[in-house]
Amino acid sequence: MARNIEIKAKVKDLDGLLEKAKAISDGDLVLLDQEDVFYHISTGRLKLRSEKGRDSTLIYYDRPDVEGPKLSNYEKCPITENEVPGLKRVLAKALGEKGIVRKSRQLLMVGQTRVHIDTVEGLGNFMELEVVLGDHETPEEGQKVAESLMEKLGIHQEDLLSGAYFDMLPK
């Protein structure tokens, strides 16, 4: 199973954060419009992510809902566009649909870290760091990378969030 260290934070100054992230990034900014459909499962989270102009992805992940850097274990399965409607029907019937999160994502890479700057429909602006761990890297090493990037990006402890965007949506 793939692993990363994640943090999620509320963004107070979207333009300032974007400027800092661009200054330390390794490449070009990628714009993504994403829709995540979440399904009921007993442990972890399961979502079907659709992105305009790209194949969809079925994603399972399990991580603790705590503030600050946390280990996330995940599996991804690419789904071609013509398979999505059938898969959505099967998942909805078998598991039940929990809800949908729609967001505009600005993605930058900083070394092994995916920096997501998200505008989430109904919630506002957020950022995520996903420090992708190599096979021989420890969670502690990933946490150090995340903490260093938090400092460079001006993310403070009081900005950190737990849970997923879905958990923050009004019920």
Residue 16 has pLDDT above 80, yes or no: yes
pLDDT tens-digit map of 20-55: 999 999 999 999 999 999 999 999 999 999 998 889
Q: Can you list the pairs that 43-46 forms with residues at least 24 positions away whose Cβ atoms lie under 8 Å?
A: 45/164, 45/166, 46/91, 46/95
| Whole-number pLDDT of residue 125 | 97
Alpha carbons 26 and 24: distance in angstroms, whole number: 7
pLDDT tens-digit map of 52-108: 888 999 999 999 888 888 999 999 999 998 999 999 999 999 999 999 999 999 999
| Whole-number pLDDT of residue 162 | 87
| Whole-number pLDDT of residue 52 | 85
Tell me the domains of the chain and their CATH numbers.
2-168 (2.40.320.10)
Residue pair 3/133 in contact (Cβ under 8 Å)? The answer is yes
pTM over 0.95: no
Mean pLDDT for 8-15 is 94
Residue 80 CB-half CA count within 13 A: 2
pLDDT tens-digit map of 115-161: 999 999 999 999 999 999 999 999 999 999 999 999 999 999 999 99
Residue pair 82/24 in contact (Cβ under 8 Å)? The answer is no
